[in-house]
């Protein structure tokens, strides 16, 4: 199969200036061969873009995680997840969909809104934003840059006493917390 795909790629590259590359198990035909390397390395800090079918996401995630991450849902405010979030000590928050680092306890603050709040991501290039109009007015949606999972929304200018005056209002259900060890600051279970 691979030999066949290489032959097709070679033929199209020579005759039509097209390139065939494999991205996340999916073959993509590109018009400009110079784009092949760029597309193949669609990476965020060493993380390859995660693309799965709806069925694959449903198999991996809980029903609630799927509803929030893949369908832009929102968990109820002030729930059990929020209470647990408030009790977390030092640590890092990862995406439930692809295990990408998103936020840390260093950027966490209590906005009393009922959802986990951060004033900035811990890895800025691991989150992205887009404007949504789901409620009839524009809001800035926060997404995981690696798996495109919906995380929540970011609000600015609310007057919180934080370095950025931003509130990343994030659904706690789609975050995985890993505490840091008090001795060396490494993540629990992380290899050195």
Active site members: 169
The Cα 146–Cα 45 span in angstroms is: 10
- Neighbour tally for 37: CB within 10 Å: 11
User: What are the angstrom distances between the C-alpha of 27 and each of 22, 33, 57, 129?
Assistant: 4, 14, 20, 27
Q: How far apart are CA 28 and CA 162, in angstroms?
A: 44
**155, 71, 162: which is closest to 113 by C-alpha?**
155
Distance, CA of 60 to CA of 143 (rounded, Å): 18
Could you write out the DSSP letters of every residue in 58-116? HHHS-HHHHHHHTT---PPTT-HHHHHHHH--SEEEEETTT--EEEEGGGEE--SSSS-
């Amino acid at each position: 199969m691979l030999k066949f795909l290489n032959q097709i790629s070679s033929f199209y590259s020579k005759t039509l200036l097209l390139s065939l590359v494999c991205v996340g198990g999916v073959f993509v035909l590109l018009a400009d061969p110079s784009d092949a390397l760029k597309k193949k390395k669609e990476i965020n800090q060493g993380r390859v873009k995660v693309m799965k079918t709806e069925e694959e996401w449903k198999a991996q995630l809980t029903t609630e995680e799927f509803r929030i991450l893949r369908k832009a849902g929102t968990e109820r405010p002030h729930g059990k997840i929020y209470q647990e979030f408030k009790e977390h000590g030092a640590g890092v928050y990862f995406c439930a969909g692809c295990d990408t680092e998103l936020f840390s306890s260093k950027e966490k603050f209590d906005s009393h809104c009922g959802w986990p709040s951060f004033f900035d991501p811990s890895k800025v290039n691991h989150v992205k934003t887009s404007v949504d109009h789901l409620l009839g007015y524009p809001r800035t949606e926060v997404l995981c840059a690696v798996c495109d999972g919906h995380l929540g929304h970011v609000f600015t200018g609310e007057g919180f006493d934080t370095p950025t005056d931003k509130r990343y209002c994030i659904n706690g259900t789609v975050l995985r917390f890993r505490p840091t060890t008090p001795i060396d600051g490494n993540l629990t279970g992380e290899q050195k």
